Amino acid sequence: MQKSELKTPFFMINEDKLIANLEKAKQLKELSGVKLVLALKCFSTWGVFDIIKPYLDGTTSSGPFEVKLGYETFGGETHAYSVGYSEDDVKEVADICDKMIFNSQSQLAAYRHLVEGKASLGLRLNPGVSYAGQDLANPARQFSRLGVQADHIDPALFDTLDGVMFHMNCENKDVDAFINLLNAISEQFGAYLDKLDWVSLGGGVFFTWPGYDIEKLAAALKAFSEKHGVQLYLEPGEAIITKTADLVVTVVDIVENGMKTAIVDSATEAHRLDTLIYNEPAAIAEASETGDHQYIIGSCSCLAGDQFCVTQFDAPLEIGQRLHILDSAGYTMVKLNWFNGLKMPSVYCERSNGEIQKLNEFGYDDFKRSLSRWSIA
Ligand SMILES: *Cc1c(COP(=O)(O)O)cnc(C)c1O
């Protein structure tokens, strides 16, 4: 398969770029003794898990189907977490997970009997401190429902628990800021942690960011795990998959209403939802900061404000031209939807040997079936 022959829109995951991130993960593990489980809610395109498996220890989940997917397609350790389990969920998940992490003391009390003897038992704590750019993604926001807060903890619980999970970072590129959070946790919860086998520090630690001081992070994690006598885990999502995939689109029209807009055969609301939710403009490979030709890169959905970005190019864009929307792996493919009946992007992997392999494609039948499988009689 030649890239130029593939029909847009499509995602192209690059194996070499993925391995570059995974090598950093490996370095972190070797230096610190931390175990790493992939957060499936960020990225769960299991067609490439064979590339990731040798580097990570397993998966973690935010819902029951992710547990099953991690168990079936990744293996290793399968952590099961959910903000709210039903009894059926717990029964389904308990047999296939290694660790069951409850979000509240009430869920723990209601369901622990279904887990004991089957999986290691954990509880999510909310440290009350965090690092997150936006309130929407801040686990320590006011009235947060994510984890048990310090002043609500029943200390007796720690004699019957195996571990705890904290998750309080979002794209934290600052190793010192992370270490401050680690110290705050050690100070506030240390006496509890001493009684446990394992502690997960969640995701959002951006150790694959260029220039990130992995050695400093590793030393802090190692010291923490030795101090409290626990096996540490991190649950990276974005850090593993960052900058490994492009969303490739075609310019289908150019309109001018005060500004030039290039309309492409994709939409943020359907195919790159975080652009819209977090109001974070996308970056285009072909753009040039010093270019004279400015365009809105507009989507082909009907939502008035649905655009990828405003950017410049050295030459005027032309209908039929392809654009590469950078860094489109994490929190994208897991959120694809059929809004407007737009064609969902296919998914390909560009292997290290140059070969292109197809992982997924979608058609009208997928769209139709996602809406109803049966009609009323
Ligand atoms: C979202 C989430 C992660 C992954 O976060 P990234 O920012 O993608 O690393 C890990 N653990 C929990 C509990 C999460 O909610």
Q: Whose CA is nearest to atom 1 of ligand 1?
A: 203
Atom of ligand 1 nearest to the CA of 236: 9
Distance CA 213, CA 322 (A): 36
Ligand 1 pocket: which of 57, 235, 332 to mutate (most atoms within 8 A of CB): 235
CB atoms within 10 A of CB 151: 6
* Strand 356-360 with 346-350, pairing: antiparallel
| Model confidence pLDDT, tens digit, residues 2-46 | 888 999 999 999 999 999 999 999 999 999 999 999 999 999 999
246 labeled binding residue: no
From the centroid of its chain, how far is CA 273?
13
| Model confidence pLDDT, tens digit, residues 299-334 | 999 999 999 999 999 999 999 999 999 999 999 999
Atom of ligand 1 nearest to the CA of 167: 13
| Model confidence pLDDT, tens digit, residues 100-153 | 999 999 999 999 999 999 999 999 999 999 999 999 999 999 999 999 999 999
Q: Whose CA is nearest to atom 8 of ligand 1?
A: 237
Ligand 1 pocket: which of 165, 167, 199 to mutate (most atoms within 8 A of CB): 167
Atom of ligand 1 nearest to the CA of 42: 8
Tokens coding 325: 């929307």
- CA of 76 from ligand 1 middle (Å) equals 18
Task: Quote the pLDDT of residue 1.
Answer: 76
Task: Quote the pLDDT of residue 239.
Answer: 98
Q: Cβ contacts of residue 293 below 8 Å, gap of 6+?
A: 260, 312, 313, 314, 315, 316, 317
Task: Quote the pLDDT of residue 346.
Answer: 98
All domains of the chain in start order, with CATH: 3-11+243-371 (2.40.37.10), 16-241 (3.20.20.10)
* Environment class of 359 (CB within 10 Å of its CB; exposed 0-12, middle 13-18, buried 19+): middle
Distance CA 73, CA 372 (A): 28
| Model confidence pLDDT, tens digit, residues 83-98 | 999 999 999 999 999 9
> At 230, which amino acid appears?
V
- CA of 139 from ligand 1 middle (Å) equals 10
| Model confidence pLDDT, tens digit, residues 144-201 | 999 999 999 999 999 999 999 999 999 999 999 999 999 999 999 999 999 999 999 9
The DSSP letter of residue 190 is H
- CA of 39 from ligand 1 middle (Å) equals 6
Ligand 1 pocket: which of 21, 44, 62, 234 to mutate (most atoms within 8 A of CB): 62
pLDDT band, residue 210 (cuts 50/70/90): very high
Please, are residues 327 and 243 in contact by the beta-carbon 8 Å criterion? yes
- CA of 211 from ligand 1 middle (Å) equals 22
The mean pLDDT of the chain is 97
Task: Quote the pLDDT of residue 8.
Answer: 98
| Model confidence pLDDT, tens digit, residues 248-301 | 999 999 999 999 999 999 999 999 999 999 999 999 999 999 999 999 999 999
> At 99, which amino acid appears?
K
Pocket of ligand 1 (CB under 6 A): 39, 41-42, 62, 81, 167, 170, 202-204, 235-239
Q: Whose CA is nearest to atom 7 of ligand 1?
A: 204
* Strand 346-350 with 322-325, pairing: unpaired
| Model confidence pLDDT, tens digit, residues 57-73 | 999 999 999 999 999 99
274 labeled binding residue: yes
Distance CA 168, CA 370 (A): 34
Task: Quote the pLDDT of residue 377.
Answer: 82
| pLDDT (average), residues 334-353 | 98
Distance CA 99, CA 176 (A): 29
Q: Whose CA is nearest to atom 10 of ligand 1?
A: 203
- CA of 202 from ligand 1 middle (Å) equals 6
Ligand 1 pocket: which of 28, 36, 37, 41 to mutate (most atoms within 8 A of CB): 41
Enumerate the β-bridge partners of residue 164. 123, 199
Atom of ligand 1 nearest to the CA of 124: 13
Classified as helix, coil or strand, 131 is: strand
